[in-house]
């Protein structure tokens, strides 16, 4: 029984199809990770705001929380005081559930930003009244996601 050669159009098409499937699965996984992390960061922001209001904690809780989270998760770089403040700001900017459908719709579509090659641009732009609350999901999430945000392909 003679074996068929693996060189030729059939093999090239097979490899191309597999590459396309692998790239698609990687992008889908990165989107899922980023979506979940953004939701986690929003929830951490919510928890911080609620505890500060409920228990009267001041701004210093951010530094303490950062220290404790970094101690618990030594390999994660997403829990600096600056990032925790960004998480709090993310929550306050998007605390109104009526805007969530718009935000979630944007999270499902990757966008390549030519300047810094991140594929998730700011989740939503707020109107001028709330301009001081503008925040980008990439600013909040880049450090903990790392390469998942840096590779749009």
Q: What are the helix and strand counts (H, E) for the chain?
A: 6, 0
pLDDT digits (tens, 9 = 90+) for 63-118: 999 999 999 999 888 999 999 999 999 999 988 877 767 666 666 555 444 433 33
Does 2 map to a domain? no
Does 34 map to a domain? yes
Domain that holds residue 116: 9-150
Please tell me the predicted confidence (pLDDT) of residue 76. 87
Does 103 map to a domain? yes
Residue 56: pLDDT above 60?
Answer: yes
Number of domains in the chain: 1
Question: Which pTM does this prediction carry?
Answer: 0.59
Please tell me the predicted confidence (pLDDT) of residue 77. 84
* Least confident range of 12-16, 38-42, 91-95, 110-114: 110-114
Does 4 map to a domain? no
Does 3 map to a domain? no
Does 59 map to a domain? yes
All residues at 6 or more sequence positions from 86 whose CB lies less than 8 Å from its CB, including other chains:
41, 135, 139, 140
């Amino acid at each position: 029984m003679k074996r068929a050669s693996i060189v030729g159009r059939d093999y090239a098409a097979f490899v191309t199809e597999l590459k396309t499937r692998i790239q698609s699965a990687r992008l889908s996984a990165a989107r899922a990770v980023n979506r979940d992390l953004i939701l986690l960061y929003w929830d951490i922001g919510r928890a911080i705001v609620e505890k500060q209001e409920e228990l009267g904690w001041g701004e210093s809780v951010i530094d303490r929380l950062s220290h404790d989270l970094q101690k618990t998760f030594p390999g994660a770089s997403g829990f600096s005081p600056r990032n925790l403040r960004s998480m709090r700001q993310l929550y306050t900017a998007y605390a109104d559930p009526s805007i969530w459908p718009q935000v979630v719709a944007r999270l499902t579509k990757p966008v390549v930003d030519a300047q810094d090659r991140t594929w998730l641009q700011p989740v939503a732009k707020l109107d001028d009244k709330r301009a001081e609350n503008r925040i980008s999901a990439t600013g909040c999430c880049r450090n903990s996601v790392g390469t998942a945000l840096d590779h749009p392909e």
